[in-house]
Amino acid sequence: MNLTGAVIIVTGSATGLGSATAKLASSKGANVVINYTKSEIEANETAAACRELGAETLLCRADVSVDQDCRRMAAEAVAKWGRIDGLVNNAGQSVFASSADLESLTAEDFLHVYSVNVVGAYQMVRATAPHLKVSGEGAIVNVSSISSFTGAGSSIAYAASKGALNTMTVSLARALAPEVRVNAVSPGLFPSRWWSEGLGEERYHRLVDQFVSAVPLKAAATPETLAESVVWLLEGAKFITGENIMIDSGMHLLGFQPT
């Protein structure tokens, strides 16, 4: 895909990896949809940064767990630009709960996490697929997690939802070929407001130190370095579909499970 003039929707793009992805795509000539649910100030800041990089932007408040919102986001992009070339399913949800305490998770917790991480991603694909097919070189990147392979992370519900997203990535790669490629990335630990707010600053920094000490590459990725792989899957991975790239500094080689 040539990103010059392309239209890329990045869900959950007010902060973190989503914001970094939108900015990097903008720097390569794409026009971007900045999506958020609550972080309006940060979303506006990301949109302003993308415009400074030369992109046209569309700011869209939408909850991907709501099908009508997904269809509206796609429709607004098409109304503005007449096309959709790429989708990054970055919006995610979790609850923080000890895996050792099975009583810490309820059925409602699972449904809440799955509604965004799995159903939301599916609904965004369904809303955008007809337009992605028209381009003939459409691409989707689902943001999964190394938790989907290790079973560790913020909660069992989160890890299980990302495992489901991995399977759905393969299913969609088959269903949407040959016009649309569908891949996933599975980051390990990286700096984010989500982690620091969920764990508290002290535990978060301890976890980062533990991660960096344990992994083979002795460093953690940043949102910006992760975005490089996401954008590459949009623009450069012409013959890759149904793949899941682990971006975890080699954590999966050790079976490392942060505590």
Q: Give percent above pLDDT 90 in the chain.
A: 81
Position 198 pLDDT exceeds 70 = no
The residue with greater pLDDT, 192 or 49, is 49
Position 138 pLDDT exceeds 80 = yes
The predicted-structure confidence for 140-171, as pLDDT tens digits, reads as follows 999 999 999 998 888 999 999 999 999 999 99
Q: What is the CATH number of domain 7-191+221-247?
A: 3.40.50.720
Position 191 pLDDT exceeds 80 = no
Residues 6 or more apart whose Cβ sits within 8 Å of residue 6? 25, 29, 30, 31, 83, 85, 86
Position 176 pLDDT exceeds 50 = yes
Q: What is the pLDDT of residue 259?
A: 45
The predicted-structure confidence for 43-79, as pLDDT tens digits, reads as follows 999 999 999 999 999 999 999 999 999 999 999 999 9
Phi first, then psi: what are they for 232, rounded to 5°? -60, -40
Average pLDDT, the chain: 93
- Where exactly are the structural domains of the chain? 7-191+221-247
Position 205 pLDDT exceeds 80 = no
* Contact criterion met (CB below 8 Å) for 24 and 224: yes
Catalytic residues: 158
